[in-house]
Homo-oligomer: A and B are copies of this chain.
Amino acid sequence: MTRSLNPLLEGKPAAPLLVVISGPSGVGKDSVLMRMRELGFPFHFVVTANSRPRRPGEIDGFDYHFVSTERFEAMIRDDELLEWADVYGQYKGIPKFEVRQAIASGRDVILRINVDGAATVKRIAPEAVFIFLAPASLDELRLRLTMRRTESPDEIESRLAVAAHELEQARHFDYVVINEESRLDEAAGQIRAIITAEKLRVFPRQVQL
């Protein structure tokens, strides 16, 4: 595709970006995103579609888009999802309209997805910015998974084996950000710098969905 010159050169605002943040389980994708929201970074947070029933306290359209299994399968059929997964019989996925709406309104969109999901998005939206969040080391990742106490020792070892494989996928991403537990602000700042820099490219990426 031919890219257009940056609109900044004509005194117009930069085009919005689709930013994918991925990385091994336990690396801290949620913590970094939460920190970015706390620091007031302006971006659109995508609400995921989910086929499981709404739990008390959850708000439709905020926590998730709650849809029926039938509706979700129709969305799959009609190619309305950027990426989806069947997790133990429950569907989760990213509706394209969410991303389209945000971009149309001029806001950057950040997607937090696992490494497999990022590969899917890369096929559908190659012009997105792909950021790989990596642990300082596999030992640090083990410590982090142990600390959060949601996995058994066996599950932790199996997640680490997957992580080692996922780290090799970093080469398919554009950027790598090391997320050390004690340096969340540094990782958040680096992601912000990447977004700032990408918007200043003479020929910026143009997401089409």
Contact = CB atoms under 8 A, between A and B. Distances in A.
Interface string A158-176: 0000000001001101111
A104 interface: no
A174 to B, nearest CB: 6
Given A192-B193, A193-B192, A193-B193, A8 B176 contact: yes
A170 B202 contact: yes
Nearest to A5: B171
A155 B144 CA distance: 64
A136 B11 CA distance: 7
Contacts of A5: 170-171
A183 to B, nearest CB: 13
A153 to B, nearest CB: 25
B192 A175 contact: no
Give chain A's interface secondary structure class.
mixed
A77 B132 CA distance: 46
Given A170-B202, A171-B202, A190-B196, 20 more contacts: A5-B171, A6-B176, A8-B134, A8-B176, A8-B178, A9-B134, A9-B167, A9-B170, A173-B202, A175-B197, A175-B202, A176-B201, A176-B202, A189-B196, A193-B193, A193-B194, A193-B200, A194-B196, A194-B200, A196-B197
Interface of A: 5-6, 8-9, 11, 132, 134, 136-137, 167, 170-171, 173-178, 189-190, 192-194, 196-198, 200-203
5 contacts: A8-B176, A190-B197, A194-B196, A196-B197, A197-B198
